[in-house]
Amino acid sequence: MTLTLDTLPGSATDGLTDFRPGFIGLRCGNCNADTPIAPKFVCAQCFGPLRARYDYASVREHMTHASVAARPRTLWRYAELLPVDRVPTDGLSVGCSPLVAAPRLAKHLGLRQLWIKDDSRNPTLSFKDRVVAIAAARARDFSFHTVACASTGNLAAAVAAAAARLGLRAVVLVPADLEVAKVMQAVALGAHVIRVDAPYDAVNRLSLELTDELDGWAVLNVNLRPFYAEGSKTIAFEIAEQLGWRAPDVVVAPLASGSMYTKIAQGVDELAQVGLIERRATRFVGGQAAGCGPIAAAFAAGTDEITPVAVPAGIVRSLAIGSPADGRPALALARSTGGSIEGVEDADVIAAVRLLAATEGILTETAGGVTLAALQQAIRRGTVASDDEVVVVISGNGLKTVDVLAELPRQVIAPTFDAFETYWATLEGPGGHS
């Protein structure tokens, strides 16, 4: 492939001149009652969850392979299937992350064809920039002055950066024991960072109270959730477009609340619905860490009942949600597609992070280790076969969790060849130390 200017990510999101919104309102996932476009997340009739609703017939008419291809390389190129009625001309350049062939890792795993959707390559180094791009744009449309969130780590920086770019105030609440790199990233990007002495679920409940008590505050993953959640569909849109407008046999993704995992499937389904890809059976494999894996535990037990995890344990902080909002639909998706939701041990997470780094040169955070380890388990389980074409979603960058992954070489040497030679002789040889 020749690298030309138009294959580089766009620097800004131009307004799309040919854009006809497909988004028409919100609908209750429980009783199907319709709600006009508003910053609401629960149904006024039954308190069920509100979801974005589209006019697929109109999208089918206006969104074509050619119209998408002609647009800037950001997630706004799929605007007809996003919950907006205009496309922002400012904002960060989010999405269109690379889909990289991973032949060395494929060989190691015994797979025919393996792709890495490297979503660590977003402005704040995680997939959370996608959900925040949509929610922050809508927050401004709805005239909120402050964007807030409860975060397991990556959301904090994504909200901080988006707010800075759009001229909004960012307030992020985080569990006090988060990784330093993630907290510092949000602080450095200018957010008010409030560390709370509690696990994520309690922090999340506190953030919900803020929306009730404080005028002009949008909690992006709570009261703008119907808009926020739709951002994850763009991972599916991009994978399909990057494969030449088709879906793979298997997608592997990590689960915290289960939102991204289920929205990727919804994205694939919508592309088939509007005629941009052919409908085919794709299996969805998910991963959770054993230290906080309520959805994986329910999958293993063969039940729909998700038992909340009161005190999350282990190294995978970005997935540590004890009461996952989308646990049930995630279970249903895994079961109905012939996929699985794997619970993986911390030692396997670290081994998988190292394997990805050593085979493909991609350093991911612990959540990415969960995802790759889930694929390894699914291969052993028989959910994934050697002739499957597999896409693994790597959702965050390894610099955010580097402390659990590697130790600094302890010894420091003098700047002489003698010192080098003496030191080298103490090692087992090239690659012998790690």
Binding site for ligand PLP (CB under 6 A): 126, 128, 154, 254-261, 318-319, 365, 367, 395-396
The interface partner of residue 318, options being Zn ion, ligand PLP, none and the CB cut-off 5 to 8 Å by kind, is ligand PLP
**77 vs 317 by CB, closer to ligand PLP:** 317
Whether 393 and 264 have beta carbons less than 8 Å apart is answered as yes
What is the C-alpha separation between 178 and 317, in angstroms, rounded? 7
CB of 24 to Zn ion, least distance (A): 17
**59 vs 147 by CB, closer to ligand PLP:** 147
Question: Given phi > 0 = left and psi -120 to 50 = alpha, else beta, which region is 153?
Answer: left
When asked if residue 48 is in the footprint of Zn ion (CB under 5 A), the reply is yes
Q: Write out 171-230 in H/E/C secondary structure.
A: EEEEECCCCHHHHHHHHHCCCEEEEECCCHHHHHHHHHHHHHHCCCEEECCCCCHHHHHH
**88 vs 329 by CB, closer to Zn ion:** 329
The CB density around residue 32, as the number of other CB atoms within 10 Å, is 12
**27 vs 400 by CB, closer to Zn ion:** 27
**Counting beta carbons within 10 angstroms of the beta carbon of residue 388, is it exposed (0 to 12), middle (13 to 18) or buried (19 or more)?**
middle
Count helices and strands in the chain by DSSP H and E runs: 15, 13
Which of the stretches 26-34, 208-216, 271-279, 282-290 binds Zn ion when contact is defined by CB under 5 A? Answer: 26-34
Q: Reduced to 3 states, what is the DSSP secondary structure of residue 64? A: coil
When asked if residue 31 is in the footprint of Zn ion (CB under 5 A), the reply is yes
Please report, to the nearest 10 degrees, the dihedral formed by the alpha carbons of residues 268, 274, 275, 277 taken in order.
-10
Q: Residue 28: beta bridge partners? A: 50
The interface partner of residue 138, options being Zn ion, ligand PLP, none and the CB cut-off 5 to 8 Å by kind, is none
Amino acid of residue 377: Q
CB of 89 to ligand PLP, least distance (A): 27
Pairing state between β 34-35 and 23-28: antiparallel
CB of 419 to ligand PLP, least distance (A): 41
Q: Which residues contact 410 (CB under 8 A, 6 or more apart)?
A: none
The interface partner of residue 33, options being Zn ion, ligand PLP, none and the CB cut-off 5 to 8 Å by kind, is Zn ion
**44 vs 347 by CB, closer to Zn ion:** 44
CB of 154 to ligand PLP, least distance (A): 3
Please report, to the nearest 10 degrees, the dihedral formed by the alpha carbons of residues 267, 268, 270, 276 taken in order.
120
Q: Which of 26, 28, 186, 191 lies at the binding interface for Zn ion (CB under 5 A)?
A: 28
Which of the stretches 1-9, 37-45, 225-233, 393-401 binds Zn ion when contact is defined by CB under 5 A? Answer: 37-45
**47 vs 420 by CB, closer to Zn ion:** 47
Which of the stretches 24-32, 139-147, 231-239, 334-342 binds Zn ion when contact is defined by CB under 5 A? Answer: 24-32
When asked if residue 33 is in the footprint of Zn ion (CB under 5 A), the reply is yes
Q: Which residues contact 36 (CB under 8 A, 6 or more apart)?
A: 25, 26
In DSSP notation, 41-61 reads -B-TTT-PBEEEEE-HHHHHH
Q: Which of 46, 301, 310, 413 lies at the binding interface for Zn ion (CB under 5 A)?
A: 46
The interface partner of residue 262, options being Zn ion, ligand PLP, none and the CB cut-off 5 to 8 Å by kind, is none
What is the C-alpha separation between 127 and 94, in angstroms, rounded? 9
Q: Residue 253: beta bridge partners? A: 286
CB of 208 to ligand PLP, least distance (A): 16
CB of 258 to ligand PLP, least distance (A): 5
The interface partner of residue 401, options being Zn ion, ligand PLP, none and the CB cut-off 5 to 8 Å by kind, is none
The interface partner of residue 45, options being Zn ion, ligand PLP, none and the CB cut-off 5 to 8 Å by kind, is Zn ion
What is the C-alpha separation between 228 and 207, in angstroms, rounded? 15
**46 vs 310 by CB, closer to Zn ion:** 46
Q: Reduced to 3 states, what is the DSSP secondary structure of residue 72? A: coil
The interface partner of residue 31, options being ligand PLP, Zn ion, none and the CB cut-off 5 to 8 Å by kind, is Zn ion
The interface partner of residue 224, options being ligand PLP, Zn ion, none and the CB cut-off 5 to 8 Å by kind, is none
**51 vs 140 by CB, closer to Zn ion:** 51
Task: Using CB under 5 A, list all residues that contact Zn ion.
Answer: 28, 30-31, 33, 43, 45-46, 48
